[in-house]
Amino acid sequence: MQKTMQKNSTLSMNPSLLVSGSVLLAIFIVVHFLYAGVIRPAAESVMATQGTAALSSLWVILKDVEQQMCMSLMFFCLFLMAYKLWKLIDEEEIYTRDLLPEHDKASALDVDAAIGELEASPYKETPAYMTWLNCIRRYRNTSNVQHAADAIESSVETIATQLESGNNMIRYIIWAIPSIGFVGTVRGIGAALAQADAALDGDIAGMTASLGVAFNSTLVALFISLILMLFMHLLNSRQDKMVIRTQESCERHLLSHLHN
């Protein structure tokens, strides 16, 4: 039962597989239509009117398929981080309050009633409630406050590990985006080398366009990675604060219920 509830508390910080898959598909579709209807037509128009000078245009920089994939993954990654942040903000208030306010701290805690009250809460799968439940169960089994305090520390460490592992998909996407950019670089350089003969004859337009693909894909991918890493660090900071507040709340409120 305890392992199952810990698993549920981890999942509560992440969207379900169905939701994630649906959002990912929707993002790829929307970005595809954005590219087909706006970005690529604008890039073709700029290239037709400005020639090689158009290579510095934002539309031209964004027009290739590698940039499209990077943009799609960026929006999906932002969705995952926004979901986690929303869950943290939604549950932030419970990290600092007494979860058993109806129980008098001056008298002995009714352990069974406290466990039943916590398990009946709609927030029972959150890290704060899980920590309280683990601690009270340990106290019920051992009748020792020190053992209960040890349960707080172990539960908080488990929460930190779960939050870290819950960010694996985000870290993978942030790693994958520059890799996609490098794929575009290889593709562009390969296309440029294939047009070396034409460049030797004086026609460098094809080689220039291919090199533009090579450098633009890496440029966009690295820029997106920089943005996502910033938001990732902000999310990690918020998660760390949540873990610290959970431990402080338990030590301030929960242990005071048990010291009788």
d(CA 7, CA 131): 13
Contact present, 98 and 253 (Cβ < 8 Å): yes
What pLDDT sits at residue 183? 86
Model pLDDT for residues 188-197, shown as the tens digit of each residue: 777 666 666 6
**Residue-range domain boundaries for the chain:** 2-12+74-258
Model pLDDT for residues 178-223, shown as the tens digit of each residue: 999 888 888 877 766 666 665 555 555 556 666 666 788 888 999 9
Average predicted confidence (pLDDT) for the chain: 81
What pLDDT sits at residue 210? 61
d(CA 86, CA 184): 34
Model pLDDT for residues 110-148, shown as the tens digit of each residue: 788 888 888 888 877 777 888 888 888 888 888 787 887
What pLDDT sits at residue 191? 67
Contact present, 227 and 108 (Cβ < 8 Å): no
